[in-house]
Amino acid sequence: METRSLIADNLASVKQRMASAARKAGRDPQDVRLVAVTKTVSVEKIAEAARVGGCVFGENKVQEASEKIEKLGTESCHWHFIGRLQRNKVKYIPGLFELIHSVDNSELAEDIHHYSLKHDRVTPVLIQVNVSGETSKSGVHPNDLEELLAMVRYLNGISVRGLMTIPPFDPDPEKSRPHFAALRKLRDRMKAVNIENIAMDELSMGMSNDFEVAIEEGATWVRVGTAIFGEREAH
């Protein structure tokens, strides 16, 4: 008799909660996709998640990710990069990641463009925005977003698809709502400005603690780790 694993149960429950949050907001559940965040998670556990149907994984360190990708491949597993990207690691990323969620300056955008073209690729990216204005956080300031988009729009090695944010952690998910709403409004404003070569369709926002609120506010990608794989060990 096969017993369902904890990861399978957790994944099923996260997907169910995602779908009901979408329906509650009058959205099509198909429009909200899951990045299962696998930083610090073992290859065995990721393989289990892939087996039971969570097939987009998010990593935040290039070295750790490339070791896992080497073992698990890119055929049945899809990989996104969600962390702070050091410029000296950019040369490794074309071909590894299908979406970079965390571009927040033009130098980084130029490096990704450069190495992508070198590998005959176009790398889809999101622009990370610091909507809360916390000084410790990565992300472009909302007031500087339009200028950044105008600077990167001719980089044909990247393809800007939308925006991402990480609000300050608060145990109360409702505290994240204004930040998510702010990112959606910013996305709508940039869409209206209609910058050439820039798509503004994706909103990457919401983590284990607040993904339902993020979906109500328009998330198209949620990034969920702990609720699927359990608490991470310090790393």
Residue ranges that bind ligand PLP, judged by CB under 6 A: 37, 39, 60, 82-83, 166, 207-209, 223-227
Q: Which residues of 164-194 are buried (b: 16+ CB within 10 A; e: fewer)?
A: bbbbeeeeebeebbebbbbbbebbeebeeee
For ligand PLP, give the closer residue by CB, 155 or 207: 207
Map tokens 């070295």 to a residue: 63
Q: Which is nearer to ligand PLP, 93 or 157 (CB)?
A: 93
CA atoms within 13 A on the CB side of 41: 25
For ligand PLP, give the closer residue by CB, 116 or 204: 204
Measured from each CB, the residue nearest to ligand PLP is 225
CB of 169 to ligand PLP, least distance (A): 8
Instruction: Tell me the C-alpha to C-alpha distance, in Å, between residue 33 and each of 36, 42, 204.
Output: 10, 22, 9
- State the minimum distance, in angstroms, from the CB of residue 221 to ligand PLP: 10
Min separation Cβ 197 and ligand PLP, Å: 26
* Smallest distance, ligand PLP to C-beta of residue 229, A: 8
CB of 166 to ligand PLP, least distance (A): 5
Q: Which residues of 29-43 are buried (b: 16+ CB within 10 A; e: fewer)?
A: eeebebbbbbbbbee
Structure tokens at 96: 């590894």
Q: Give Cα separations from 221 to 71, 82, 107, 139, 154 (angstroms).
A: 25, 11, 25, 17, 25
| Residue type at 30 in one-letter notation | Q
Q: Which amino acid is at 72?
A: L
Q: With respect to ligand PLP, which residue has the nearer C-beta, 36 or 198?
A: 36
Q: Which is nearer to ligand PLP, 157 or 202 (CB)?
A: 202
Least spacing, CB of residue 188 vs ligand PLP, in Å: 23
Q: Which is nearer to ligand PLP, 129 or 227 (CB)?
A: 227
Phi, psi of 40 (to 5 degrees): 70, -5
Pick the closer one to ligand PLP by CB: 60 or 123.
60
Residue 204 CB, nearest approach to ligand PLP (Å)? 8
**Matching residue, tokens 């980089």:** 155
